Structure 1
Amino acid sequence: MTTLFISDLHLSPNVPKLNQAFFHFMQEEAPHADAVYVLGDLFDFWTGDDDPSPFCRSIIDAFKQLTNQGVPCYFTRGNRDFLVGKRFAKETGVTLLGDETVIELYGRKAVVLHGDTLCTLDEAYLNYRKKVHLPWLQWLFNHLPFSVREKIVARIKGDIKHDKQSKSLDIMDVTQSEVEKVMRDHQVDLMIHGHTHRPNVHRFTLNQQPASRVVLGDWGEQGYILRIDDETMSLDSFAID
């Protein structure tokens, strides 16, 4: 058996090929896993757990079908779906994780996270993140009419797109010192995250011992799945057409 990890699918009604790739994964691969981890930005943007659209209901139904089959599913919120909440968890059967979570993988401990908090050079984003994670602000947003929230989200998405175009790639990547700090804090030699859209397996030395950082890839022309079992770890890509 295998544990599967995905992130940064950025699903939306506007990209049906990604949705179909996700449904295929949930129906054909995920049911055979020991567990499935979604490490953030599953959605291009999550407007709220009360989203009534057929698109959102179809995603919820896919998770519910999986968890009803007895496959544990874990969800780390990203910078695009930080508003996923308790209602989503209840309706899907998924377990919501914190910003950093230590898990055990076949006798080896790993820390899993979305990855945005590792980008310490991007001070403007971290300040924005701090604001939008304020409980009172999220409560206020969630109590606005859904149509108003949709307009706010459209504006935020436009700001994010403009912001990315004006920043260097180095600023939007993780800093190694923060990676090592988090791994030391949790006493692990394996980190798994997404966010940066730079799929790779980085190997380095931590506390004079071998360590690894796995970066999950975003789904676009290709999709990425990390597969880990008791013997192997493989970051695999596949074409999305």
Structure 2
Amino acid sequence: MATLFIADLHLSTEEPAITAGFLRLLAGEARAADALYILGDLFEAWIGDDDPNPLHANIASAIKALVDSGVPCYFIHGNRDFLVGKRFARQSGMILLPEEQVLTLYGKRILIMHGDTLCTDDIGYLRFRAKVHQPWLQTLFLALPLFIRQRIAAKMRAGSKASNQTKSEAIMDVNPQAVIDVMTRHHVHHLIHGHTHRPAIHELDIEHHPARRYVLGAWHHEGSMIKVSHTDIELLFFPY
């Protein structure tokens, strides 16, 4: 048996192949897993649990079928879908986790997170993140009519895309010291995250002990997941 981790699918109606690939995973390999963890950015955008987009209902139903089959599903918010709330969690059967969570799996202590908070060199993004994560602002946004939220979200996505085009690759990657700091704080030697879209396994030294950082890939052209078992932690890729 094994536990599966995925992130950065960025599901949207414009990318039906990615949705189909995710649905196949839920109906296939995930059914034999001990658990499935989704580490953020499952959706390209999320403007509220009341959005009637049929894609959301379809995904909720498929995840619920996995959960009902006996495989628990856990979710950490990403920078694209940080407004996923309790209503969608109930519909899908997912369990919402805090932004940093330590797991003990098969004798290994593993820290999981989306990964955007590790990009400490991107000061502009962290300032923006701090603003939009204020509860009062989220409450105000979610109280707006749906069509206004759609316009705001579209404008924000366009602004983010334009801003990222002017940033260096280094700024948008994790800060090495931030990685060491968070792993030291949680007393772990394994870290799994997404966000950067740079799948890899990095060898580290944490308090004079060997450690590893596992980075999930985005589902742009193929699927990506990390499989944790009794014997190994693997970064895997597969066609949709």
Q: Secondary structure at the match of 1:225?
A: strand
* AA matched with 1:76: I
1:193 corresponds to? 193
2:143 corresponds to? 143
Structure 1 unaligned regions, length at least 5: none
Could you tell me how far apart the structure 1 residues matched to 2:78 and 2:210 are? 28
Q: Which runs of 4+ in 1 moved over 6 A?
A: none
2:61 corresponds to? 61
Could you tell me how far apart the structure 2 residues matched to 1:108 and 1:90 are? 30
* AA matched with 1:153: A
* AA matched with 1:238: F
Q: Which moved more, 1:123-132 or 1:56-65?
A: 56-65
RMSD of aligned residue pairs (Cα, Å): 0.7
In the TM superposition, residue 239 of structure 1 has moved relative to its aligned partner by 2.6
Could you tell me how far apart the structure 1 residues matched to 2:70 and 2:143 are? 34
Map Cα deviations across residues 150-196 of structure 1 (whole Å, 9 max, x no partner): 11111111011101101000000001101010001100000000000
1:23 corresponds to? 23
In the TM superposition, residue 226 of structure 1 has moved relative to its aligned partner by 0.7
Could you tell me how far apart the structure 2 residues matched to 1:176 and 1:96 are? 27
1:164 corresponds to? 164
Map Cα deviations across residues 39-97 of structure 1 (whole Å, 9 max, x no partner): 00010011111111211110111111111111111100000000001111111111111
Could you tell me how far apart the structure 2 residues matched to 1:140 and 1:14 are? 28
In the TM superposition, residue 223 of structure 1 has moved relative to its aligned partner by 1.4
Matches within 5 A, 1:179-218: 179-218=179-218
In the TM superposition, residue 233 of structure 1 has moved relative to its aligned partner by 1.4
Q: Which moved more, 1:2-11 or 1:84-93?
A: 84-93
1:115 corresponds to? 115
Could you tell me how far apart the structure 2 residues matched to 1:65 and 1:51 are? 21
Q: Secondary structure at the match of 1:162?
A: helix
Q: Secondary structure at the match of 1:195?
A: coil
Q: Secondary structure at the match of 1:203?
A: strand
* AA matched with 2:80: R
Could you tell me how far apart the structure 1 residues matched to 2:26 and 2:239 are? 16
Could you tell me how far apart the structure 1 residues matched to 2:61 and 2:146 are? 21
2:106 corresponds to? 106
Structure 2 unaligned regions, length at least 5: none
Q: Secondary structure at the match of 2:177?
A: helix
Could you tell me how far apart the structure 1 residues matched to 2:204 and 2:139 are? 42
TM-score in terms of structure 2 length: 0.98
Could you tell me how far apart the structure 2 residues matched to 1:132 and 1:8 are? 20
Q: Secondary structure at the match of 2:28?
A: helix
* AA matched with 1:27: A
Could you tell me how far apart the structure 1 residues matched to 2:92 and 2:126 are? 30
In the TM superposition, residue 14 of structure 1 has moved relative to its aligned partner by 0.5
Could you tell me how far apart the structure 2 residues matched to 1:76 and 1:163 are? 25
